[in-house]
Amino acid sequence: MLEKFKLLLKKNLEDKLTEKQISLLPSSYQKIGNIVILNLKPELYKYEKEIGKIILKTIPNTETVCIRTGSIKSTYRQPQLKIVAGKKSTKTIHKENGIIYNIDVKNIMFSKGNLTERKRIISQVKQGEIIIDMFAGIGYFSLGLGKFSKAKKIYSIEINPNAFRLLKQNIKINKINNIVPIYGDCMVEIPKLGKADRILMGLLPTAKNYLLDAMKAAKQNTIIHYHTTGTEKDDLFEDVKIAAEISGFDVKLLNQKKVKSYAPKVYHYVLDCKII
């Protein structure tokens, strides 16, 4: 059965599209603030402006429509987007779970699919924790932790200058005073920070290459939230065990959680690991 969004597009375009093209219409979209982002098959690119106009008219509070033109690339994790309808701006304000995010969707990755995970981490933090957020972005995890958890201090490290600028703005507009934003590479900055009670490694497709760096800030009972991708058959904990062993630690897997689909038969997982 066709989803409501796909039915909407079909209703407006069926007199122009072939059956094959109708079958390729997207069944979902992502809305960040007043911007709608769409995955569109190349076979439908010639209709991108028309599809954009339909979305502007039918999806409330939409001012700009973009399509993804490629996968996220580079160290800075920048999305590949193209504006197809509405205002020629990719800057917006997104509100989610009591947090205000100032964001530019063309320069900064933002996943609404991680909302449940962001809320889950907040609930785990104990009074007075020192937390390191290794890939802070604009504050996806850090802002919620700073505003709603009992953490004493959160070190938020980000290497993308655009994301770091927005991170500082978001700390200010959310009136949070226990976040320390740090501009730089985790590999360089972590050894300067001392030990942490909790370490977030929210980098996709995997934070594997930074596990040894995380271990430099670990101590007994440190919790590491390690994000990676894999199939249901993969032993994703093995890389954590190897890094811990090299660093002179034992480590226990507390929980392995499937966050969302990443690619066909490949999923985004988060592993809660405890240094023992």
pLDDT tens across the length of the chain (276 residues): 446 888 888 888 988 899 899 999 998 899 999 999 999 999 999 999 999 999 999 999 999 999 988 766 556 677 789 999 999 999 999 998 899 999 999 888 777 667 788 889 999 999 999 999 999 999 999 999 999 999 999 999 999 999 999 999 999 999 999 999 999 999 999 999 999 999 999 999 999 999 999 999 999 999 999 999 999 999 999 999 999 999 999 999 999 999 988 889 999 999 999 999
3-state secondary structure of 121: helix
Of 245, 255, 252, the C-alpha closest to 275 is: 252
Domain contains 96:
no
Q: How many domains does the chain have?
A: 2
Q: What is the pLDDT of residue 118?
A: 87
pTM of structure: 0.87
CATH code (residue 215) = 3.40.50.150
Please check whether residue 92 is in contact with residue 76, taking contact to mean a CB–CB distance below 8 angstroms: no
Task: Point out which residues pair with 258 in neighbouring strands.
Answer: 269
CA dihedral 206→148→223→214, nearest 10 degrees, is 50
Domain contains 146:
yes
Distance CA 173, CA 29 (A): 28
Residues 16 and 54 grouped into a single domain: yes
Matching residue, tokens 């809305």: 31
Q: What is the pLDDT of residue 109?
A: 78
Q: What is the pLDDT of residue 76?
A: 64
Residues 244 and 188 grouped into a single domain: yes
Q: What is the pLDDT of residue 97?
A: 87
**What are the structure tokens assigned to 172, written together?**
């200010």
Please check whether residue 59 is in contact with residue 34, taking contact to mean a CB–CB distance below 8 angstroms: no
Distance CA 121, CA 140 (A): 11
DSSP letter string, 144-175: HHHHHS--SEEEEEE--HHHHHHHHHHHHHTT
Q: What is the pLDDT of residue 126?
A: 96
Residues 131 and 81 grouped into a single domain: no
Backbone angles phi, psi at 47, to 5 degrees: -105, 10
Task: Point out which residues pair with 268 in neighbouring strands.
Answer: 229, 260
Chain centre to alpha carbon of residue 32: 12
Asked if omega into 205 is within 30° of 0 (cis), the reply is: yes
Distance CA 133, CA 151 (A): 12
Matching residue, tokens 């199939």: 231
Residues 115 and 15 grouped into a single domain: no
Q: What is the pLDDT of residue 28?
A: 87
Query: Last residue of some domain: 60, 89, 118?
Result: 89
Residues 114 and 58 grouped into a single domain: no
Residues 128 and 220 grouped into a single domain: yes
Domain with 175 in it: 109-275
Domain contains 103:
no
